Amino acid sequence: MTKILIVEDDRGIIENLTEFLTKEGFSVMSANGQKLALELISKVSFDLVLLDISLADGNGFSVCSAIKADYSIPVIFLTASGDEYSTVTGFNLGADDYIAKPFRPRELVSRIKNILRLTGGTGTITHLGNVVVDTVRGTASKNGKDLYLSALEYRLLLAFINNKGMILSRSQLLEMIWDIAGEFVNDNTLTVYIKRLREKIEEDPQNPQIIKTIRGLGYRLD
């Protein structure tokens, strides 16, 4: 069962979110401050964190920074509507998405499921020829040596892994990585990132066997 940690100092929001997410099939725990949140994260393998910016002690930015320094847990910020500064700061710290308050519970669940899909969700080890991807640790290796992927290269690889065997069009790939990319991505830059990813994971990037081009349709991970 997918484990979610809610870090929020508003008891009413915690209760409502816990009830709703539990009905949606998630396992939910909560913390009202920075100290308790980091204690729980050190003891429990959470799949995702919902993080408010204003906390009883500390703030959400500090929690996000601490999480991203030691774990590969996706973070969705809960922000005040129209708070551009908080949104930008959150993304700069490595947040995977944000949703403005007040939010619709169904929209939140959709955001959660999308991030879990893009980040490998429950965490598995995937073998792609000589490449091994560990979505719990957020690492990739080739022939036993660590691969150094940029954040966007890693997201792109996860998009392929989570849709293995399926043809993904360029527009689908752009949609999958658009919201969480820390930089502008268009059709031209997508080409560049696919080329870079192939150079890192393929034995022969000129004749790719992992990420194949399906002429006129898109790409497929075999």
Instruction: Write the pLDDT tens digit of every residue in 133-161.
Output: 876 567 889 998 999 988 788 888 988 88
Fold agreement between 3-119 and 125-221: no
Statement: residue 214 has pLDDT above 70: yes
Kindly state the average pLDDT of the residues 44-73.
88
Give the model's pLDDT for residue 137: 65
Give the model's pLDDT for residue 181: 43
Rama region for 216: left / alpha / beta (φ>0; ψ in -120 to 50; rest):
left
H or E element at residue 170: helix 170-178
Higher pLDDT, 178 or 9: 9
Higher pLDDT, 187 or 122: 187
Contact 41, 18 (CB under 8 A): no
pLDDT tens-digit series, residues 174-205 = 877 764 444 556 788 889 999 999 999 999 99
Give the model's pLDDT for residue 124: 59
Give the model's pLDDT for residue 209: 94
Helix axes 151-161, 170-178, angle to 10 degrees: 120
Question: Binning pLDDT at 50, 70 and 90, where does residue 162 land?
Answer: confident
Structure tokens at 105: 């519970």
Give the model's pLDDT for residue 177: 74
In this structure, whether the domain defined by 125-221 belongs to CATH 1.10.10.10 is answered with: yes
Statement: residue 163 has pLDDT above 50: yes
Helices (H), ranges, 7-104: 11-23, 34-43, 60-70, 84-92
Give the model's pLDDT for residue 20: 87
Domain extent listing, the chain: 3-119, 125-221
Give the model's pLDDT for residue 183: 54
* Identity of the highest mean pLDDT range in 1-10, 80-89, 120-129: 1-10
Percent of the chain with pLDDT over 90: 34
Instruction: Give the amino acid at 156.
Output: L
What does the mean pLDDT of the chain come to?
85
Question: Binning pLDDT at 50, 70 and 90, where does residue 164 land?
Answer: confident
Between 23-37, 49-63, 73-87, 168-182, the lowest mean confidence (pLDDT) is in: 168-182
User: Is the full-model pTM beyond 0.75?
Assistant: no
Higher pLDDT, 222 or 8: 8
Give the model's pLDDT for residue 136: 59
Give the model's pLDDT for residue 115: 84
In this structure, whether the domain defined by 3-119 belongs to CATH 3.30.70.2860 is answered with: no
